[in-house]
Structure 1
């Protein structure tokens, strides 16, 4: 190989390195842009869900407050339900006002300080979340699925498939 050929090969290699570097830079930039979009969308979804959860928790607090008003004025039950309703209403506002990371840290601290109260609150939030999920579900789809499984259960019971001994209905073990 003569000097001109070696210079051309070196120049060609340099051009290839430059174009690979340019492509890599473009890919990094595109990935960073997509990452930013995903983070923005995730935050938006989290904020929307956080607001919905806060509304559900507020509804639970309102229901407890109404229940406390139905009890005898001044009774221990009335005061206790009223206090629980106030605490839950405050939690609703905290959920709405705080960042998701702050909420998780707050829940972690509360769980360590008072595990029984934490578990009770978790149960209430679970009920609220299931109520939200049920209300958010597409009624046509969920109704069709429920009807399908109800009919399947009736057929299974009739032919004995739901029976652990696989006996026909009405037969003795």
Structure 2
């Protein structure tokens, strides 16, 4: 038995409205989560920039090439600018900027995504470091030879 046309049209409109509300709520929640997690990402980026600056200072001793020190300094400046940008903008603005970069430089964007994915997979696959307070004990029969490091470890 079919419903009258005006009833099914009302149902479609109601479902469409519910879907729009759900989409809007999900987008707002996602944006608030991204904004909440932005702080730790900014701190991590600043930490990396600081480490690069320290490495550049250590390279300034005259024994390493000047181009290497300059490369470290430029990398630190770029990461610091990125941290400042992320801190100043909300997630909507950041996504808009990211979309624009992807449109303007698709090859560079895809290469950066591939590099980030590779780095993330290396970090996630790495075995957790063993705290120095823990020590390994030999099995009951002893070791026939020292244990070899894990193949997947960095």
Instruction: Report the counterpart of residue 40 of structure 1 in structure 2.
Output: 28
User: Is the counterpart of residue 86 in structure 1 residue 77 in structure 2?
Assistant: yes
Instruction: Report the counterpart of residue 71 of structure 1 in structure 2.
Output: 59
* 2:97 pairs with one of 78, 102, 120: 102
Contact map agreement 1:95 1:103 (CA 8 A) in 2: no
Q: Which runs of 5+ in 1 are unaligned?
A: 1-12, 140-173
Residue by residue over 1:34-82, the C-alpha shift from the partner in whole angstroms, topping out at 9 and shown as x without a partner, is: 1211221232334345554443332221211121122225761333312
TM-score under structure 2 normalisation?
0.52
Q: Which runs of 5+ in 2 are unaligned?
A: 129-154
The 1:124/1:27 distance shift into structure 2, 3 A limit, reads closer
* 2:9 pairs with one of 21, 28, 48: 21
How far residue 130 of structure 1 moved from its aligned partner, in angstroms, is 6.1
Which structure would you say has the larger RCO, counting Cα contacts within 8 Å and 6 or more residues apart? 2
The 1:27/1:123 distance shift into structure 2, 3 A limit, reads closer
Residue by residue over 1:7-58, the C-alpha shift from the partner in whole angstroms, topping out at 9 and shown as x without a partner, is: xxxxxx9x94443333333222222211211221232334345554443332
* 2:48 pairs with one of 32, 47, 60: 60
How far residue 94 of structure 1 moved from its aligned partner, in angstroms, is 2.6
Larger Rg: 1
TM-score under structure 1 normalisation?
0.47
CA–CA distance in structure 2, aligned partners of residues 51 and 62 of structure 1: 17
Contact map agreement 1:60 1:128 (CA 8 A) in 2: no
- Aligned-residue CA RMSD (Å): 4.0
The 1:59/1:107 distance shift into structure 2, 3 A limit, reads farther
Matched position secondary structure for 1:99:
helix
Contact map agreement 1:71 1:78 (CA 8 A) in 2: yes
